Amino acid sequence: MPIFADPALFPSFHELPSSSTPPSPAPPADWFLLAQIKEDMTITKPTVIVRDRSGADFAVTFEDGDHRGLGHGGIRFRKGHTLVVPRATRTDRGEGKQAIVRVPPGEGANVRILPAGLDQVFEIGAVLDGIEGAGKGKKCAACGKEEEEEVEHQLMRCTGCGVVAYCSKACQVRGWSELGHKANCKVIRSIKEIWS
Ligand SMILES: [Zn+2]
Ligand SMILES: [Zn+2]
């Protein structure tokens, strides 16, 4: 699972490498720009206005109009959802013009959308890190009961995301409705689809 708090892996807009001076040496791993969709400005070329974790607003454009990777069978720039752009670079456009992120030809299909706002994505990231982080035992997501060795006391994983676990049916029901897993389950699933 990704560590969203890692600025090398999830840089803000201003921390992105510039498109005109490729980083040298090349970064060792992929990095991802996470930004919440504010507005779909598409006229011809797919274009969205987004906001990153630092509060910076900017445009993301898809140069070849390839957005097959977005949504299911079509473009779905939903306000409030989070755009995930792998290996994003910042294009400075000279004086008086705001910098943008251009998704180059052929890369549009690699862009994904998480069905949640940036705050919710970071919250879920922190929870996932708590569940899966090194040295942390599995716990019931509702009551905090620790997993035990005996098979009959092992926790049951949520069948939706396979990540969150519960000690009993009652805790699962409570976790789903009262504690809000209903809203997070599909987001965790999309996070897993991208990063695991
Ligand atoms: Zn429990
Ligand atoms: Zn789930």
Lowest-pLDDT range, 27-31, 89-93, 161-165?
27-31
Q: What percent of the chain has pLDDT over 90?
A: 47
CA–centroid distance, residue 195 to ligand 2 (Å):
16
Considering every ligand atom, which ligand is closest to the CA of 191?
2
CA–centroid distance, residue 182 to ligand 1 (Å):
17
CA–centroid distance, residue 141 to ligand 1 (Å):
7
What local confidence, expressed as pLDDT, does residue 20 receive? Answer: 84
Considering every ligand atom, which ligand is closest to the CA of 176?
2
| Residue 128 to residues 4, 54, 134, 174, 189, Cα–Cα distance (Å) | 10, 22, 11, 19, 12
CA–centroid distance, residue 168 to ligand 2 (Å):
14
Task: Return the half-sphere exposure (C-beta side, CA atoms, 13 A cut-off) of residue 129.
Answer: 11
Domains and CATH numbers, the chain: 13-117 (2.40.50), 137-195 (no CATH)
Q: What is the pLDDT of residues 123-179, one digit of tens each?
A: 998 888 777 665 455 789 899 888 887 777 788 999 999 888 999 999 999 999 999
